[in-house]
């Protein structure tokens, strides 16, 4: 069984997050949802921080965050040590975020992505391994604290 993934979204990402969780179920990947639980307005940083805190504390190896564009929630998540959140807008960016950057958080745009494409991005991101090698040296240089 795969390691559990922590997931979170704001209201604009809620519908896509529900589809992401269903896809994780189909793939046999366990998950924990830290919110939100509806389309009622909430602040995306709060959910980005919740997901990132799970990664930072070592309780989860990977996470998925969703807001309207994926950008704001990824910025919040990236404020945490050891979190490398990447916004992916197609399969290539998802693959490269894993191969080259060892992204441990996938950020998706609930309003900016076709949901079918978002699920393809998710599958590529889950299946792709970090290449290491020259990329490992670069990833090590990301942390500043």
Rounded CA-CA distance 117/35 in Å is: 23
Q: Confirm whether 67 is a catalytic residue.
A: yes
Q: Confirm whether 11 is a catalytic residue.
A: no
49, 100, 115, 135: which is the annotated catalytic residue? Answer: 100
Cβ–Cβ < 8 Å for 121, 108: yes
Rounded CA-CA distance 70/16 in Å is: 11
Rounded CA-CA distance 51/56 in Å is: 9
11, 49, 67, 80: which is the annotated catalytic residue? Answer: 67
Residue 102 backbone zone (phi > 0: left; psi -120 to 50: alpha; other: beta): left
Centroid of chain to Cα 72: 12
Catalytic residue list: 67, 100
């Amino acid at each position: 069984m795969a390691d559990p993934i922590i997931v979170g979204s704001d209201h604009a990402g809620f519908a896509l997050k529900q589809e992401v969780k269903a896809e994780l179920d189909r793939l046999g990947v366990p998950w924990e949802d830290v919110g939100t639980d509806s389309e009622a307005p909430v602040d995306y940083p709060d959910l980005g921080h919740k997901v990132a805190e799970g990664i930072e504390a070592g309780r989860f190896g990977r996470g998925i965050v969703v807001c309207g564009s994926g950008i704001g929630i990824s910025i919040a998540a990236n404020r945490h040590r050891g979190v490398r959140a990447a916004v992916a807008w197609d399969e290539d960016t998802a693959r490269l975020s894993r191969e080259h950057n060892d992204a441990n958080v996938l950020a998706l745009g609930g309003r900016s992505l076709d949901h079918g494409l978002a699920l393809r991005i998710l599958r590529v991101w889950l299946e792709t391994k970090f290449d290491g090698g020259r990329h490992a040296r670069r990833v090590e240089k990301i942390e500043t604290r």
